[in-house]
């Protein structure tokens, strides 16, 4: 079995899709000649030239808007935001424009734009370079949101995202970039569907629904819970945040009777709260204990590593919350 890093998986997906469809082009800061701050787009300019890999000035609003314009006539722009925090700089073009254009035009125009880049904490980048924006994107209808955790899923989902006629936010995570995992052979038609969760660990007592880097934290927490407390967790990797694959989650909760949603974006008005609310709307009878969620604490992410560790909803907090849920 071939293995790649997460970065390499994304790079491969980009290369394959660019080769397959000449309408695909990349646009963003430092992505061309340099190959991207995190080297995700390395070598692509050499292979496809300056017209397919555009180095922009620091003008997120305008190049996001340009992506929309180009997409209306069938181009398939893949926009890199160097840090997903910069979503806020281009927020009007993303949420007032890209997410709404198909609807506002009564379906006359399609906006197949992919917005990709890395998010998340863990590397002490502080308040403006560590935010997770999945909940923010999910709040606005009209844009798909995917956040794969493994190289395998990342490659397959990015290829699907590029071919999707909807705008898609493709959220990477800085802690995942150098992780390695199974990868499909290059150039294969390897597609992972948007909107389909994947059970990454089977279990019987508690369902942990999560995605992106938190998946690994949840898996580790599950190990600890199993070993030290005899609690068996099923870990569902949502992979897609919009639309949420609640079917797979309810299937799991039907077995476990307990649901904990975990994500790194702010807990307040976050995806976890959403999942809890939907559980009580759609499948309250499945729950044997109150459904819970964990997200980023309501503070601006601090730089200091001890403070940052405190706000991230990682392993220890997952373990503690599951234990609390079991006590009910």
Ligand X SMILES: Cc1ncc(C[n+]2csc(CCOP(=O)(O)OP(=O)(O)O)c2C)c(N)n1
Angle between helices 214-229 and 315-327 (to 10 degrees): 50
User: Closest approach of Cβ 249 to ligand X, in Å?
Assistant: 36
User: Closest approach of Cβ 298 to a copy of itself, in Å?
Assistant: 4
Among 3, 19, 43, 104, binds another protein (CB under 8 A): 104
Torsion angle defined by CA atoms of residues 228, 233, 236 and 237, in that order, rounded to the nearest 10 degrees: 0
Peptide bond into 97 cis (omega under 30): no
Among 26, 116, 136, 144, binds another protein (CB under 8 A): 144
Print the binding letters for residues 283-302 with a copy of itself: x by CB under 8 A, - otherwise. Answer: -x-----xxxx----xxx-x
Question: 287-326 burial, b if ≥16 CB within 10 A, otherwise e?
Answer: bebebbbbbbeeeebbeeeeebeebbbbbebbbebbeebe
Farthest-apart Cα atoms in the chain, separation: 60
Catalytic residue among 33, 102, 124, 129: 129
Which segment (27-35, 146-154, 181-189, 199-207) binds another protein by CB under 8 A? 27-35
Indicate whether 142 belongs to the interface with another protein (CB under 8 A): yes
Indicate whether 191 belongs to the interface with a copy of itself (CB under 8 A): no
Among 26, 64, 214, 221, binds another protein (CB under 8 A): 64
Indicate whether 5 belongs to the interface with another protein (CB under 8 A): no
Indicate whether 152 belongs to the interface with another protein (CB under 8 A): no
User: Closest approach of Cβ 203 to a copy of itself, in Å?
Assistant: 21
**Residue 18 vs 261, nearer CB to a copy of itself:** 261
User: Closest approach of Cβ 237 to ligand X, in Å?
Assistant: 30
Alpha-carbon separation of residue 171 from 19, 118, 138, 256 (angstroms)? 23, 6, 12, 29
**Residue 164 vs 234, nearer CB to another protein:** 164
Q: What does the alpha-carbon distance between residue 161 and residue 111 come to, in Å, rounded to a whole number?
A: 12
**Residue 60 vs 205, nearer CB to ligand X:** 60
Indicate whether 135 belongs to the interface with a copy of itself (CB under 8 A): yes
Alpha-carbon separation of residue 148 from 87, 145, 297, 321 (angstroms)? 19, 10, 22, 24
Cβ neighbours for 223, distance < 8 A, ≥ 6 positions apart: none
Indicate whether 99 belongs to the interface with a copy of itself (CB under 8 A): yes
Indicate whether 91 belongs to the interface with a copy of itself (CB under 8 A): yes
Whether 173 is a known active-site residue: answer: no
Which segment (56-64, 185-193, 224-232, 252-260) binds another protein by CB under 8 A? 56-64
Alpha-carbon separation of residue 87 from 79, 129, 147, 148 (angstroms)? 11, 11, 15, 19
Q: What does the alpha-carbon distance between residue 111 and residue 68 come to, in Å, rounded to a whole number?
A: 6
The strand pair at 144-146 and 240-242 is best described as: antiparallel
**Residue 199 vs 323, nearer CB to a copy of itself:** 323
Torsion angle defined by CA atoms of residues 236, 2, 175 and 153, in that order, rounded to the nearest 10 degrees: -40
CA 62 to chain centre: 24
Query: CA triplet 148, 154, 157: central angle to 5 degrees?
Result: 90
Indicate whether 105 belongs to the interface with another protein (CB under 8 A): yes
Residue 265's SS3 state is strand
Indicate whether 163 belongs to the interface with another protein (CB under 8 A): no
Q: Name the residues that contact a copy of itself, by CB under 8 A.
A: 85-86, 88-89, 91-92, 95-96, 99-100, 103-104, 126-128, 135-136, 138-142, 242, 266-274, 276-277, 280-281, 284, 290-293, 298-300, 302
Looking at the annotation, which residues are catalytic? 129
């Amino acid at each position: 079995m071939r293995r790649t890093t997460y970065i390499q998986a994304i790079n491969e997906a980009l290369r394959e899709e660019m080769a397959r469809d000449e309408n695909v082009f990349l646009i963003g800061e430092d992505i061309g000649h340099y190959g991207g701050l995190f080297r995700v787009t390395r070598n692509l300019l050499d292979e496809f030239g300056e017209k397919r890999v555009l180095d922009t000035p620091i003008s997120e609003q305008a190049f996001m808007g340009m992506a929309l314009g180009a997409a209306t006539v069938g181009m398939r722009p893949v926009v890199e935001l160097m840090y997903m925090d910069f979503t806020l700089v281009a927020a009007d073009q993303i949420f007032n424009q890209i997410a709404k254009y198909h609807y506002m035009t009564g379906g006359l125009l399609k906006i197949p734009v992919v917005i990709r880049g890395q998010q998340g904490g863990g590397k002490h980048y502080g308040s403006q370079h560590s935010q997770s924006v999945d909940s923010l994107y999910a709040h606005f209808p009209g844009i798909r949101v995917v956040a794969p955790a493994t190289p395998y899923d990342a490659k397959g989902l990015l290829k699907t995202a590029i071919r999707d006629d909807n705008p898609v936010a493709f959220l990477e995570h800085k802690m995942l970039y150098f992780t390695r995992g199974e990868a499909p052979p290059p150039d294969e038609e390897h597609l992972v569907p948007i909107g389909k969760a994947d059970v990454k660990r089977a279990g019987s007592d508690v369902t942990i629904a999560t995605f992106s880097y938190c998946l690994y934290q949840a898996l580790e927490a599950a190990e600890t819970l199993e070993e030290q407390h005899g609690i068996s967790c099923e870990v569902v990797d949502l992979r897609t945040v919009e639309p949420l694959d609640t079917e797979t989650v309810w299937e799991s909760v039907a077995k476990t009777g307990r649901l904990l949603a975990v994500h790194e974006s702010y807990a307040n008005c976050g995806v976890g709260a959403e999942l809890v609310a939907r559980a009580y709307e759609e499948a309250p009878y499945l729950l044997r204990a109150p459904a819970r969620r964990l997200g980023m604490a309501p503070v601006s992410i601090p730089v200091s590593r001890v403070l940052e560790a405190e706000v991230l909803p990682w392993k220890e907090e997952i373990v503690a919350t599951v234990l609390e849920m079991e006590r009910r």
